[in-house]
């Protein structure tokens, strides 16, 4: 039953916003006034044959819809091409196979020595701190990740801490997920305090999309565990489009910057969403206004169900070459591809 409206979320805690995310495709289309897009009414390629709702219900079976109201508020009603909508709307293209697109495009499951820990690169390990996300991005390279075998908890974390303590080449721990900020601040404080005890670990990096999708996640408690540590902390937000960066996000990022957290951004280059010089330029400029340096722009990881987001390498290189001519170097993210079994991300330019 549809009972909500796209109303203010100001009075809700981040946990309430997380719990209240939209998960029903019918409700999503209703709230965005897209329920009139029936079969045959949309004049753009594949969408002609089936209604948006039929497509969303079918693709939802493979990877469920999840989007919080705070993000939904930034999507333009009635606009099927809204770049934020296209990141979260299940579409039937996800169900067609494409050559080279697999469930585990980065072979992470071969670099998963113990549950909840991925050790791919020299000197760094990644912890799956939370299996949950606030939003399900349709292009996510972990959309088929076996989170059921990597459920974090005290026991798994203790094993992971032993692993890190036993390898003094590890100087950086990366909180990942899911989204690590979906875990509670109490859990994150405990984990961070344990990591500080391991003397060879110098840096903590947090990869999260939560400050973008639910900016209220940046609470005083969150700032406390991030900054009351001897570890050098950086936080990598994952923003793909300037429309994601509204004033609420700006306030959350300002709190982090003022607390001394280094802020970086990673973008995924996505067809129909951000594959234009104007969009990428606006994204870099807005990020910098909010205290964030653009860091990487990733070619899409070839995960099953995401082939329709692919931008060719040739076009990606053209875009970044043109962007380089428009912006100072520090605002141009490095174009890279992550490759399975490769010791680092591979620069494409």
> Do 244 and 251 meet the contact criterion of CB atoms below 8 Å apart?
no
Instruction: Closer to ligand SF4 by CB, 74 or 209: give it.
Output: 209
Instruction: Closer to ligand SF4 by CB, 261 or 270: give it.
Output: 270
140 near ligand SF4, judged by CB under 6 A: yes
270 near ligand SF4, judged by CB under 6 A: no
Residues in the chain: 349
- Given candidates 133, 245, 283, 323, which one binds ligand SF4 under the rule CB under 6 A? 133
136 near ligand SF4, judged by CB under 6 A: yes
319 near ligand SF4, judged by CB under 6 A: no
Instruction: Closer to ligand SF4 by CB, 28 or 137: give it.
Output: 137
Q: How far apart are CA 48 and CA 37, in angstroms?
A: 9
The token pair that represents 299 in the structure block: 């070619």
216 near ligand SF4, judged by CB under 6 A: no
What count of other Cβ atoms lies within 10 Å of the Cβ of residue 346? 12
135 near ligand SF4, judged by CB under 6 A: yes
Q: How far apart are CA 324 and CA 334, in angstroms?
A: 10
- Given candidates 209, 302, 304, 308, which one binds ligand SF4 under the rule CB under 6 A? 209
245, 250, 256, 261: CA torsion to nearest 10: 50
209, 152, 116, 177: CA torsion to nearest 10: -10
The token pair that represents 217 in the structure block: 């996640």
- Residue 303 gets which letter from DSSP? B
Q: What angle do CA 344, 178, 88 make, to 5 degrees?
A: 100
Select the span of 45-53, 134-142, 271-279, 282-290 touching ligand SF4 (CB under 6 A).
Answer: 134-142
308 near ligand SF4, judged by CB under 6 A: no
- Given candidates 120, 142, 286, 298, which one binds ligand SF4 under the rule CB under 6 A? 142
Q: How far apart are CA 174 and CA 185, in angstroms?
A: 16
85 near ligand SF4, judged by CB under 6 A: no
Q: What angle do CA 268, 84, 327 make, to 5 degrees?
A: 50
- Minimum distance of ligand SF4 from residue 227's CB (angstroms): 23
Instruction: Closer to ligand SF4 by CB, 136 or 150: give it.
Output: 136
Which string of x and - marks every residue 158-197 that binds ligand SF4 (by CB under 6 A)?
A: -------------------xxx------------------
Q: How far apart are CA 128 and CA 152, in angstroms?
A: 7
- Minimum distance of ligand SF4 from residue 137's CB (angstroms): 3
> Do 116 and 127 meet the contact criterion of CB atoms below 8 Å apart?
yes
Instruction: Closer to ligand SF4 by CB, 120 or 238: give it.
Output: 238
Positions touching ligand SF4 (CB under 6 A) are 133, 135-137, 140, 142, 177-179, 209, 238
């Amino acid at each position: 039953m549809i009972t909500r409206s796209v109303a203010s979320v100001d009075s809700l805690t981040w946990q309430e916003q997380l719990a209240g995310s939209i998960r029903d495709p019918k409700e999503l289309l209703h709230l965005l006034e897209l329920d009139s897009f029936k079969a045959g009414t949309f004049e753009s390629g594949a969408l002609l044959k089936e209604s948006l709702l039929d497509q969303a219900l079918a693709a939802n079976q493979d990877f469920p819809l999840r989007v919080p109201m705070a993000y939904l508020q930034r999507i333009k009603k009635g606009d099927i091409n809204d770049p934020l909508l296209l990141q979260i709307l299940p579409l039937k293209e996800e169900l067609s196979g494409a050559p080279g697109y697999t469930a585990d495009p980065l072979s992470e499951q071969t670099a998963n020595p113990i549950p909840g820990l991925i050790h791919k690169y020299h000197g760094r390990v990644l912890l799956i701190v939370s299996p949950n996300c606030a939003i399900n991005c349709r292009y996510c390279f972990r959309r088929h990740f076996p989170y059921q075998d990597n459920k974090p908890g005290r026991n798994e974390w203790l094993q992971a801490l032993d692993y890190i303590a036993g390898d003094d080449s590890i100087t950086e721990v990366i909180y990942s997920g899911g989204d690590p900020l979906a875990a509670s601040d109490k859990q994150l404080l405990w984990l961070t305090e344990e990591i500080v005890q391991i003397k060879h670990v110098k840096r903590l990096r947090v990869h999260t999309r939560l400050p973008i999708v639910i900016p209220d996640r940046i609470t005083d408690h969150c700032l406390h565990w991030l900054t009351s540590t001897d570890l050098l902390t950086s936080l990598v937000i994952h923003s793909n489009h300037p429309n994601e960066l509204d004033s609420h996000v700006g306030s959350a990022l300002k709190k982090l910057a003022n607390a001394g957290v280094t802020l970086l951004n990673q973008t995924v280059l996505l067809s129909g969403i951000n594959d234009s010089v104007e969009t990428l330029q606006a994204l870099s400029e807005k990020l910098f206004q909010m205290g964030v340096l653009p860091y990487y722009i990733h070619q899409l990881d070839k995960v099953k169900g995401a082939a329709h987001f692919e931008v060719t390498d040739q076009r990606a290189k053209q875009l970044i070459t043109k962007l380089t001519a428009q912006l100072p170097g520090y605002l141009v993210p490095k174009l890279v591809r992550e490759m399975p079994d490769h010791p680092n991300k591979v620069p494409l330019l």
